[in-house]
Chains A and B, each alone.
Chain A
């Protein structure tokens, strides 16, 4: 059927909603949010990195752009979460576009380092921007006022969601599903094929009629926007934000490690990577210190790039091909 995938997506969103209604233990939503956020980050990273071959080391910068756009909006306009996410997406998308323009002549490692440089410059600027809390950070109280969906969702005593964590979880889950849908759509589109050609040989792609610059700019914009959307609810989730938590290297390493582990050639790779690595990190953080946790991510990343260049989906493909031959 033509729309099977879309129907599954819809069902998953409904499923998320049902979860928020039947599961009582808030802890699940607390860790579920993080895993879903990683899924968006990994999926977004993979559009540029996996399809187009441009490695972004500065993912945290885009996420933080979303987060701080939300903080500025809360301070300035007092708008709701959905609007914050839209705005976060727009600003981070613009940052992506700017990154694309600034780095359009850069290939390979130079692009990667430029993105890292951008993230650190942004972090320095934000640390000096007192309106959003500066280096010390700022507390964000979850909104209790009506908002676009909020009126019927959070506030009423008989509201749809029992509390804010469920609401955040549901929103992030919806974003994750839409992101995966977008990534899959790109993968099977002219854009995706063009990006693949760029990854393999940018000169050859350009000489075969692929408008490489335009495709790269589209990819940096979409990828940045997704990360911004994922970052916007961060302040509400943590109820506090400072440059250290928003620009955390954890995001950068996970955004790379998850697609690498799952496999970069397909939308399923980042999803598998985020589910496995994200869940493992969240669960293990219960009894081991968070640093050790990160160490494991690093080791797993290195081991995977050495022994499984095409990630977990590469194994599946190989075994399928093997049985065909």
Chain B
């Protein structure tokens, strides 16, 4: 896989004396649906914070689309094609729903020299999410699932090559989970590579083509959903038979 879209090359991240990520290496292929799992505190969020640039890994490199992005600020990475959602929704709460989408459209799209109708494009994204009629509402009026969808919609408005969905389904009902999975499938069909971080196993297993599992900052397993399910290390990490 020399033509991987995202290459994570032996990255490590420490907080003081605490090692949050230790020498993690993996690759994500273009167009892939990639799952990232692991128990609480295993380093999932740290890893995607390193990929999106909110945190800097002290060791190792992150190569995206053939370019070394290790030292780039988050907004530059977004410009390069990495967009993410947040686990706890962080909408721009003084703006309307559609204005939320216009921010990445303006700052990323225009920067790339794209000249289109931002509003029409934002509307189109909202329509695929079933949020079109909420376009002019303020985000304070949204429900939990709508906030999650807004997170994804806003990330989509940055026209990413790689979308990182950070626990977009936590706390949602079964039906709502299916709804979000459908949205992610739709995005993937458009050629967008997707990394899904998720606690809801059913969702990850159904969605992902390939999954990696982190535990205590280390990559302990990598494989297809079937392989992951059978993996003894993964089972041990989740059942917590280690000292933790």
Contacts and interface: CB of A to CB of B under 8 A. Distances in A.
Interface of A: 190, 193-194, 196-197, 199-201, 203-213, 265
B73 A211 contact: yes
Contacts, number: 79
A265 B93 CA distance: 13
A212 B76 CA distance: 11
B92 A201 contact: yes
B107 A208 contact: yes
A207 B103 contact: no
B158 A208 contact: yes
A190 B109 CA distance: 13
A224 B92 CA distance: 26
Nearest to A198: B92
Interface residues of B, number: 29
A194 B99 CA distance: 11
Nearest to A199: B94
B78 A208 contact: yes
B7 interface: no
A203 to B, nearest CB: 6
B35 interface: no
Contacts of A210: 75, 103, 107
Given A209-B79, A209-B107, 11 more contacts: A190-B107, A193-B103, A196-B95, A197-B95, A200-B95, A203-B54, A204-B91, A206-B54, A207-B53, A208-B157, A209-B108
B92 A207 contact: no
A319 B110 CA distance: 36
Contacts of B79: 209
A213 B75 CA distance: 10
B106 A190 contact: yes
A208 B54 contact: no
Contacts of B74: 203, 206-207
Contacts of B155: 208
A207 B108 contact: no
Contacts of B154: 204, 208
A208 B73 contact: no
A193 B118 CA distance: 14
Contacts of B94: 196, 199-200, 265
B232 interface: no
Contacts of A190: 106-107, 110
Contacts of A194: 103, 107
A209 B107 CA distance: 5
Contacts of B104: 208-209
Nearest to A202: B90
Contacts of A205: 92, 103
